[in-house]
Amino acid sequence: MSPIAAEKRANTRSNILFAVAVFLVLTIAYKLLKELEIIYVSALFAVVLMPVATKITTWKIRGRSPSLAVAIIIMLVAVLGALSLFFVIGLPPVINDMQGFAHELPKRVPAAIATVKRFPMANSFGLDQVAAKAENVAGAIGAYVVDAVPLWLSHIFDILTAIFLCIYFMLEGEHAYEFFLALFPAPERRRLDTTLKKAELKMSKWLFGQGLLMLTLGITSTIVFGVLHVRYFILLGVLMGLFNIIPIAGGVITILLAASVAAFDSVYKMAGVFAFYALYANVENAFLTPRIMKSSVDLMGLTVLIALLLGTALAGIVGALVAVPTAALIAVLLDEYAVQKDTALVS
């Protein structure tokens, strides 16, 4: 056999083995999809929380700085304390509001439709059919919301697994990170290290800033809706805070929902809800966002929205949870390795 033929045969054999290896890896990844999701979420939260743990190690407690393990324990106790407080004090009112809203919404729809039908030409829009469909949709949404609570609580074991993995990633992740970098040549290793640290900083700052904005809107709207005596104000306040992660659309959807609930009781309450959101939106855009997010590299609203859509479609709530930090990581990697920069403009 000639050397050329032998080389072709060796290349063919190598290509076949490579294709089989890729197929096996993809098959194993598909079989272990849930476990890989937990590992990825744990690693991502370890990356985001590591700067907090590092900051705690700089504290002086009786003249001594806590070790990394002690810092992680302090952070874990604080998080578990906050979660326990939420589950004991905050969650029961939210669940009660969810159940009451789900039970009452189908009854409220006909009254709302009857009110709308008083306006001229309202009957030409087929409101009776709309009312029938709305009752069915409202009932289905209410049943899903109530039934989904036990389903969410059934994932406690997965949550505990992710917490323990996150702790181990923070304790031993540096060794795994160094091993990962060792797989690349020295020049590329330094470049990749710099890029990943930039992504870590961006993810941490964005997540902290966005979380603070969500918390601010949630608390403020809950207080205002409570003062206005809007029904289910705790549930609506929680939804306002959670949906604030979705640029523009999240706020619009939740404020329309809150205004609709307020309109069942009084037009003045609905006007108060709209007035509150108009005032808050201006305060957030002019004062809160520039100060809270000033130290982070902003992600475009379109990027956030697409990331949330894809993350939710791929992995549900877990996917939505890590979608935006993942988008920040991808954005930094693309900016470093894929975006063709104009050297004349850069210089």
pLDDT digits (tens, 9 = 90+) for 66-101: 888 888 888 888 888 877 877 777 667 767 766 666
pLDDT of residue 209: 78
pLDDT in tens, 209-238: 778 888 888 899 989 988 988 888 888 888
The pLDDT score that the predictor gives to residue 129 is 56
The pLDDT of residue 191 is above 50: yes
pLDDT bucket at 147, cuts 50 / 70 / 90: low
pLDDT, one tens digit per residue, over 236-272 is 888 888 888 776 677 788 888 888 888 877 788 888 8
pLDDT class of 18 with cuts at 50, 70, 90: confident
pTM exceeds 0.75, yes or no: no
Reduce the secondary structure of the chain to three states and give it as a string: CCHHHHHHHHHHHHHHHHHHHHHHHHHHHHHCHHHHHHHHHHHHHHHHHHHHHHHHCCCCECCECCCHHHHHHHHHHHHHHHHHHHHHHHHHHHHHHHHHHHHHHHHHHHHHHHHHCCCCCHHHHCHHHHHHHHHHHHHHHHHHHHHHHHHHHCCHHHHHHHHHHHHHHHHHHHHHHHHHHCCCCHHHHHHHHHHHHHHHHHHHHHHHHHHHHHHHHHHHHHHHHHHCCCCCHHHHHHHHHHHCCCCCHHHHHHHHHHHHHHHCCCHHHHHHHHHHHHHHHHHHHHHHHHHHCCCCCCCCHHHHHHHHHHHHHHHHHHHHHHHHHHHHHHHHHHHHHCCCCCHHHHC
Domain extents for the chain?
186-337
293 pLDDT higher than 70: no
Does pLDDT of 122 surpass 50?
A: no
